[in-house]
Amino acid sequence: MTIIYAVIMFCILIFVHELGHFIVAKACGVKVNEFALGMGPAIFKKQKGETLYALRAIPIGGYCAMEGEDEDSEDERAFNKKNAWQKAAIVVAGAAMNVLLCLVIMIGISIYSGTPNTTIGDLTPGAPAEAAGLLAGDEIVEIDDTQISEWTDITDAITGAEDNVSVTVNRDGQLLTYEMETIEQDGRLIIGIMPGRDRNIVQGVADGFKATCEMTTIMIDSFRMLFSGEVGVEELSGPVGIVYVVNDTAKMGLIYVFYFTALISMNLAIVNMFPLPALDGGRLIFIIIRKITGQAITDEIEGKVHFIGIVLLLVLMLYVTWNDIIRFIVPIFQ
């Protein structure tokens, strides 16, 4: 199942990314020679109009091969014949689709999981809340003189408490107050309650947007630490590391696999917009430079720079893959 999950995840992420390039390229009138999912020999292909659609054997990678993308072409519908704004839109579209995929998944997870409310959904057996007499269905209205309006108020009040807390609940219209101790778990204070959840589409969409923004902020900060040296290059992971993590997340449930897919989709979007040769961000930089400098840089020169970038990226991928093997595969046989 791990292999199946990983292959499906890779295919979805790559397909969505290349589909973004494909849709905008077609909308801008660019001739697309081939739209392929996977790399290596084709196991299925079909010519439809000017475009060859192919499914290739190795489910890591894919491409949207446009006329005049990395070489000079005299075709009026070639990528190199389009204006700067059209080129920029095509280049950015792949990353934009990955961001959109991340957002859709996070909205789906938020709607499915629901929003925690102030009603007790369940209690941990033997924990202080159950021992004190709290029941599932009780609505918490006050903790230690702090008025409760949302679930985070509850966690903040308990975290800020000392050895004991006073919890006031609304049970069938009657206010009841219970005194109980707090216990420490994973470095924080708890009383052993879990929230009820409201499932609302509008709130789920809002929570999905919020979660996506938070995920983006965390990932950008992680890349900042990588480039500043706070995190070493050895911490990077490639396909092997991703499969290893998929294995762990699959054990926790399908919802975690979806969350990890959203995380990798956002990661792919951000990495692809780095201003490096061969990446979409590098292509965007060239579009801007060539718009300013005119014909100072030819399509042939840009193509050679991107080729060098591809070679360097392959070297980095080999290093990361070897590092993943040392970290994740070798210990299994020791």
- Residue 223 reports pLDDT greater than 90: no
* Pairwise pLDDT comparison (113 vs 2), residue with the higher score: 113
Whole-number Cα distances in Å, 145 to 5, 131, 140: 48, 21, 12
- Write the CA distances from 158 to 153, 165, 179, 183, integer angstroms: 9, 7, 12, 10
89 vs 125: CA distance, rounded Å:
56
Residue 291: is its pLDDT beyond 70? Answer: yes
Instruction: Decide if pLDDT at 219 tops 90.
Output: no
Q: Mark whether 18 is an active-site residue.
A: yes
Choice among 18, 67, 130, 302 that is catalytic: 18
Q: What is the pTM of this model?
A: 0.80
pLDDT band at 242 (very low <50, low <70, confident <90, very high): confident
pLDDT of residue 334: 64
State residue 323's pLDDT score: 77
pLDDT score, position 212: 94
| Paired tokens of 182 | 């707090």
Domain topology for 116-198: Pdz3 Domain (2.30.42)
Q: Which of 27-31, 36-40, 76-80, 247-251 has the least mean pLDDT?
A: 247-251
Q: How far apart are CA 178 and CA 104, in angstroms?
A: 42
HSE, side-chain direction, 13 A CA sphere, residue 213: 6
Centre a 10 Å sphere on the Cβ of residue 106 and count the other Cβ atoms it contains: 27
The pLDDT assigned to 265 comes to 93
Output the pLDDT for position 159.
85
Domain coordinates of the chain in residue numbers? 2-112+208-333, 116-198
Pairing of strands 115-123, 193-198: antiparallel
* % pLDDT > 70, the chain: 96
Residue type, 27: A
Asked whether residue 233 carries a pLDDT value surpassing 70, the answer given is no
Helices 84-113 and 280-293: crossing angle in degrees, nearest 10, is: 150
Q: Quote the tokens at residue 205.
A: 């969409």
**pLDDT band at residue 154 under the 50/70/90 scheme:** very high
- Tell me the C-alpha distance between 323 and 236, whole Å: 8
Q: Does the structure show a pLDDT above 80 at 245?
A: no
Between 219 and 1, the higher pLDDT residue: 219
What is the pLDDT averaged over residues 45-69? Answer: 89
